[in-house]
Structure 1
Amino acid sequence: MKLNETIADISIVAGALMTSRKIEVDDSRELVARVIEWTEQFEREHSESYWDEGLDYMTEIEVFAEAKLVEAYGAVDPFRCPACGGENVATFLHDRRQCCLSCGERFELPAEEAEQFN
């Protein structure tokens, strides 16, 4: 992936989390600096990744971005993972699924929450 695409994808996740009030950002310049830092980290961690061979780029970038953003700017609304009971659950915007950031279990978004994405 090109750096610009990764910057854009992390920024889209940040915008969605801000809009849904799952994070609160007081300093936009700080956010920009962190997005650039996280982009470089993601690219380093995935320098050997082949996105067409089993890894899904959109899922990986959304999980990565949401984890970084929530850690830096706030907590995701509590929702318990059905597998481990963990409360750090990421919502994938592109396919209306969720993933536990603790155990990695992936599951369908509850119907009442999925409605907001229609």
Structure 2
Amino acid sequence: MILTTTEKVEGKEISEYLGLVFGETVNGINFVKDFGAGLRNFVGGRSKGYEDEMISSRNDCMNEMIRRAKEIQADGIVGIKFDFESMGQGNMILVNVTGTAVKFK
């Protein structure tokens, strides 16, 4: 499966556009990670707990989108875009990824 944020793949010709494919997750941040992030916000620095959660969410989304593309026999996904938002009281992370499933010649 070829994945790209661009609209085409160098050296490949798109023969068919199969439609949009998506992956999404909504993950809660537990109290310990939220507390640690709050301390980091106060004293400065990176929040490993939040970073780990974002990486995990992003990977889950990508895997879900790829699975859906495979179900429709896609060879690749072009134009991939990510969207991240906080939800609820700021302790939930929504991650959404979209792309266009394609067939190559």
TM-score, with structure 2 as normaliser: 0.31
Question: Which is helix-richer, 1 or 2?
Answer: 1
User: Relative CO higher for 1 or 2, CA cutoff 8 Å, sep ≥ 6?
Assistant: 2
Instruction: Choose 1 or 2 for highest CA Rg.
Output: 2
Question: Which is strand-richer, 1 or 2?
Answer: 2
TM-score, with structure 1 as normaliser: 0.29
